[in-house]
């Protein structure tokens, strides 16, 4: 005869619980569906939109749990777990992206004044190309490298991608026409 399981035993089996420890110097708050993590490099906010998942902060841990351990719920928890770990790392150390200024045909200059990055003489253009630096991102030009730093990995990555897009030229073969701005390092990983 098959064993009968109680509802408590079934509930324990289907409950999915995950703890993410906060590192020293980093604090977390959770209010009205928004998780805010603060550290020495700044603070990052993330809206958590999973109805079946609960978020708690206890004993210097961010706890994610769900009562039903369906595949979808597990995927949501693992996705938010990765986001939260990136937020903790960003609040503690920051995220750095590097972009190279490649100019083979025309000498291109890149400068930062206030919160505006300006690219002059891109393939001989008379009008400079400009982009506004977001307020939670710091950018620095040293030689032919632009270093982008932010506590938010998304903000740093999006700005680095915007720089690439700023100098993109459709219908030109990049193997021949190599002028432009190109990401060479994503958060410590060389490309």
pTM score, whole prediction: 0.85
**Statement: residue 117 has pLDDT above 90:** yes
Percent of the chain with pLDDT over 70: 93
**Where do you find CATH 3.90.930.12 in the chain?**
7-92, 95-190
Read off φ and ψ for residue 180, nearest 5 degrees.
150, -175
State pLDDT tens for residues 153-186: 999 999 999 999 999 888 888 788 888 999 999 9
Pick the CATH number of 95-190 from 3.90.930.12, 3.30.390.50, 3.60.20.10, 3.40.640.10: 3.90.930.12
Cα 94 from chain centre:
10
**Side-chain half-sphere of 124: how many Cα atoms within 13 Å?**
3
Protein fold of 7-92: Outer Surface Protein A; domain 3 (3.90.930)
């Amino acid at each position: 005869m098959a064993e009968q399981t109680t509802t408590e035993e079934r509930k324990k089996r289907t409950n999915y619980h995950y703890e993410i420890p906060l590192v020293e110097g980093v604090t977390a708050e959770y209010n009205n569906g928004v998780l805010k993590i603060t550290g020495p490099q700044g603070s990052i906010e993330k809206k958590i939109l999973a109805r079946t998942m609960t978020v708690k902060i206890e004993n210097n841990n961010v706890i994610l749990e769900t009562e039903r351990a369906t595949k979808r719920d597990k995927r949501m928890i693992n996705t938010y777990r990765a986001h939260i770990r990136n937020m903790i790392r960003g609040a503690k150390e920051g995220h750095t992206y590097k972009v190279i200024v490649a100019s083979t045909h025309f000498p291109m200059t890149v400068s930062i004044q206030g919160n505006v990055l300006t690219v002059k003489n891109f393939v001989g253009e008379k009008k400079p190309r400009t982009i506004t630096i977001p307020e939670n991102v710091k950018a620095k030009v040293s030689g032919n490298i632009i270093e982008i730093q932010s506590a938010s990995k998304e903000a740093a990555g999006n700005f680095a991608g915007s720089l690439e897009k700023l100098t993109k030229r459709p219908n030109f073969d990049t193997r021949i026409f190599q002028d432009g701005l190109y990401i060479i390092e994503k958060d410590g990983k060389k490309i």
